[in-house]
Structure 1
Amino acid sequence: MKRRNLILGLGGLALAGGAGALAWRGSVGSTAAYAEYQAQLRRPLDPADMRDLIRYASLAANGHNTQPWRFHLGNGVIEIRPDFTRRTPVVDPDDHHLFVSLGCAAETLAIAAAATGRPGALSIAADGSSIQYAFTAGSARVDPLFDAIPRRQSTRTVYGGRPVPLEDLKLLETAAAIEGVGVALITERGHIGSIRDLVIAGNTAQMADPAFMRELKDWIRFSRTEAMARGDGLFAPASGNPALPTPLGRLAFDLFFDVRAENEKYARQIESASGLVVFLGARADPAHWIAVGRSCQRFALAATSLGLKTAFLNQPVEVTALRPELARLVGAAGQRPDLVLRFGFGPALPFSPRRAPAETIA
């Protein structure tokens, strides 16, 4: 569930006026066009259209916004399978994030289907090769998290820092309760600072890896035009950065994406958070990673419904050497931590793109 914030210092990389400005706007795409694109992605769900459930399920959190899923519609069942053509092998060599992403989509699908008159049950293959949502008899069951589905986003900016009320923390913990998944809420500033140090250590190690940097850059969508055309990837304005023509954005990434500045930004963002949450599966296998994704998605939806923002900080779970210390810090020595999120009160940013259902339905 990687999310990166770019330092795109433009320096002398400016386009002249006149024809140059027109070319810039054409290559970047207009704010209005992107707003309409997002409104269509997040329009109200059509209860009569089973394919529209796939649109809602695809709004789930997922690593690098690769959307690594394929949906199969059957008689009374929707099956979700991994799409390994959308792997991120450098940051996610064992497909951990891929299977977590499937869990996020499966939970979103289940909530949306039940709310629109198709209640059912999720079942996960032991090897994680497929997830089935089988319809059952019954009337619509509206989960309180349903309305948050189109509003949830990973908000990668500075938050307000004020604490979350205790009763809301309990609601978050309850919402995320999934069998086989441990949820550790951290609000004590000293513990937050210790995890911040692990995030910075992990970021430093990753940014020193040329393969990691190439993979990250390949998944960034610098312009609105590219984001809408491809429907995936890490949209630069969703991290608070300017939209740029893709060639200029890629050049700026090479010139200005600096480890020290990124570490300082992560430190500010973590210090502004109300708290952190760490998810731990009972075992390190695809079925439990899917369960972690379900728990994470429910937490994020509950946070959204409470007016909170969330963002991923997964460096300490992606850099293998840092996992034991993270597990120790949350009282789970010997386990493999799966995800780290920060949460707090913050502003909305532009939403990330999504592919059309026709591209994900097999």
Structure 2
Amino acid sequence: MTLSILDLAPILSGGTAAEALRNTLDLAQRAEEFGYRRYWLAEHHFAPGVASSAPAVLIALVAAATSTIRVGSGAVQLGHQTPLSVVEQFGLIDALHPGRIDLGIGRSGQRRAELAAKGPAASAAGDPPAARTVDGLLIPAPFDFSKLAAHPHLLHYASLLQQPGAQTPDFNDQIGDVLAFLHGTHEARAVPGEGADVQVWILGSSGGQSARVAGERGLPFAANYHVSPSSVLEAVEAYREAFKPSDTLDEPYVVVSADAVVAADGARARDLAKGYDLWVRSIRTGAGAMPYPTPEEADAHVWTDADLELVKDRIDTRFVGTPEEVAEGLRVLRRVTGADELLITTITHDHRARVRSYELLAEAWNRP
């Protein structure tokens, strides 16, 4: 199976965090039955509609509730904690679930600060690339994340994730420390953690430092089509260009993420997919992910042109439809990006429909 799952533990409109976490455990168990390769948990903070604020804790719970599927982070944000604390957390989980744990690492805290410092004026210099189709895959016009990164609420919230006066070291140095702690070559000992059979991944949204560090260190790389679809080709290209064989990999290994909703017929899938655009809008306005709305709540929202522009790239690149339609779209994504594996995120207000979506997709993906 070359499909995996990324879960945010979404809190549903009218629901609770406890219900969201129980849904995550149920979905992980069903994903194992369906044959998915790995089950990753995201890290989100200050979001009323997301319960995955502490991925290491949630990974431990999911690993304990399953037996064979790989479980990991997509991703731990290294700007919010030290390499030692991360290695100790994942080493502890690996001690009880050896050989099943993925440590996916992102640099979003550092990247957010860089984007905020750059400001929208710099990113607006010149005309942005227009949307285009590459061998059947839509590559939309880029979304300007610098405006969101500079949002006063987000800047304040980001400060709450670190001790006063704390400074995030260079990402490459941090990754070096993580690997040194795991391999036992650091001057300090990480216990548990040293010698843990943890697979280290780098996640990235562009052709910037994350992609280069993953390639230069010979680590597997996860590229982000579902959040930043405009730069996915740039990201995988930069990773492959920088790749050097290592003790971990002889050649590049790429996972690409995608949003998808599947149902037995297209009309049902489109109905289940309602709410996603409103949910994305809540993120991109700086309010944080809202509790995932019902289709009726989504229909009641009055959209402005500015709202629609805010979410257009995410809506246009989502895969929604019958099992065959979505599987074919994902095969295009895999072919164009050269991905070895795809990481699927599905969110619906109906948990049973969400589980069924993953089941239908697995069946269609495995058919000749």
Q: What's the TM-score once normalised by structure 1's chain length?
A: 0.29
Which structure ranks higher in relative contact order (CA pairs < 8 Å, sequence separation ≥ 6)?
A: 1
Q: What's the TM-score once normalised by structure 2's chain length?
A: 0.29
